[in-house]
Structure 1
Amino acid sequence: MEETTRRRRGRPKGTGNVDTASIVDAALDALADGGYPALTMRGVARTLGVSLATIQHHYPTKDDLWRAAVDHLTDDAIERRSQVDPTDLGGKISTFLEQGAARPGLLAALLSDHSPGSPGRIDYIAGRFTTALVEPTERLRSFEADGVTRQFDHRALFALVTIGVGSIAGAADAVKTIYGFDLSTERGRTDLADGLADIIGLGVLRRQGR
């Protein structure tokens, strides 16, 4: 049940101006810590030191806030991707690792959501992902048409990068301890991204004589 505010006389303690970017940032931190159940309007208000009414002024319900967080996450991913050469798979993976390492566990928490109402939330994520994948899908098709790559299932590659790389970024401590890749550093992210890009590239590049 959505939280409601209690009516009080005067200005509630902690009420103040706060921008939507700060609210969404706090929501993303909560989601990374414990997924949808960990996101509460009161918790975000408490984190920011403002009243619940202040949060609800911008986002009336928890689901409104959740959608804003998902929108920010996907928009940020698109923006980061746009700054990398389309043919630089290693660079794209590195930026994905960078985004994931900033909030370990966030993507996994969003995609493995099984709490009540999760099918609708997964549908929303699917819609945002579909929009975000239009440009890379068109790019891959152009690579196929130009003979740069062989034909392959783009969905499998996107799933590998999204879920596989996202899980790696969310397990930064374990990856560093077990495999020696320090994802908190640009060097570590680049080394791992180059290695993954090489492995993926060998699977999608057109082989000689085929």
Structure 2
Amino acid sequence: MARQEKQVAARGRGRPRAGQELDPGPLLTAALDAFADAGYDGMSVRALSRRLGLSHALFTARFGSKEQLWYAAMDHALAQAARAWRETTANAGGDDFEALRQGIVRQVLFTAAYPQVVRIMNHEGAIDSPRIRYVVERFVNPVRPGVEELLARLQDAGRIRPTPYATLHYLVTNGGGGLYVHPVEAKLLGAALPATPAALREHAETVADMIIGGIALTPAPNRSTPAEG
């Protein structure tokens, strides 16, 4: 066994044994679950290997280290959220109010799909580390200027009150998807988690309407039929 493990390690990082090619998506989602449950420091490589159903040697060959797996798992999820906001702020010629509203809807849908991300950020956001700086620098800062320009246009047009970026960020990322991030608490409060795609979208639309209504200085435009996705 020791000889086999040495051969696995010798194949190089990210290359499992022949016949054991792995679909990274489920593994990265399982890693998000693990880090969300225990935090980065609370989850050992051996515990991660067990949760992912990999031998310790195969884990090392596939991911290299716990740190590299954390980055890969967060990349896997947050790239989707960043892409959605880039598409939202590229809204050339469209209505800025509706663009912002749809950006909020898409963020809530993302949080429902990946509630682990907010749980992980709850661990990471309170303590300075290379991990929290990585998330901010790689995923938040690149899309922030587009969001701030969108807010500035709406403010200059007299359509919204001054809205600090960080305030909107936390209302949308932490507040909008809170039912999914804290499902036990939500159930204790008597909240029923939207279980169907239609119910989930209605929840996301409601969150967006509440946030937009809270910052609007003039009535927001009537709801248009949102595009799926």
TM value normalised by structure 1: 0.73
Identify which range, 22-31 or 175-184, moves more after superposition. 175-184
- Correspondence 1:192 to 2:199: no
- Are positions 1:98 and 2:109 aligned together? yes
Q: Please give the secondary structure, in 2, of the residue aligned with 1:112.
A: helix
Aligned to 2:227: none
What are the equivalent positions in structure 2 for 1:109-124 lying under 5 Å apart?
109-113=120-124, 119-124=129-134
**In structure 2, what is the equivalent of residue 125 of structure 1?**
135
Name the structure 1 match of 2:4: 10
Q: Is there any run of 5+ residues in structure 1 with no aligned partner, and where?
A: 1-6
Q: Following TM superposition, by how much is the alpha carbon of 1:200 offset from its aligned partner in structure 2, in angstroms?
A: 1.8
Cα distance in 1 for residues equivalent to 2:133 and 2:65: 18
Percent identity between the two aligned chains: 25
Provide the rounded CA distance (Å) in 1 between the counterparts of 2:136 and 2:71. 12
CA distance in structure 2 between the aligned counterparts of 1:19 and 1:177, rounded to whole angstroms: 36
Distance 2:102 2:189 in 1: 23
Judge conservation of contact 1:97–1:165 (CA < 8 Å) in 2: yes
**In the aligned structure 1, how far is the partner of 2:125 from the partner of 2:201?**
33
Residues 42/123 of structure 1: CA separation in 2 closer, same or farther (3 Å cut): same
Cα 1:185–1:37 change in 2 (3 A) is: farther
Partners of 2:213 and 2:178 in 1: CA distance: 22
Alignment RMSD: 3.4
Q: Is the 8 A contact 1:78 1:132 kept in 2?
A: yes
Matched, 1:62 2:66: yes
CA contact (8 A) 1:33 1:106 kept: no
Deviation at 1:89, TM superposition (A): 4.7
- Aligned counterpart in structure 2 of residue 136 of structure 1, from 125, 129, 147: 147
Gaps of 5+ in 2: 9-15, 220-229
Higher mean alpha-carbon deviation, 191-200 vs 8-17, is at: 8-17
Q: Over residues 75-123 of structure 1, what are the superposed CA-to-partner deviations in whole Å (9 max), with x where a residue is unaligned?
A: 12123445667625554344333332334454123223489x7533222
Match of residue 49 from structure 1: 53
Distance in 2 of aligned mates of 1:161 and 1:120: 24
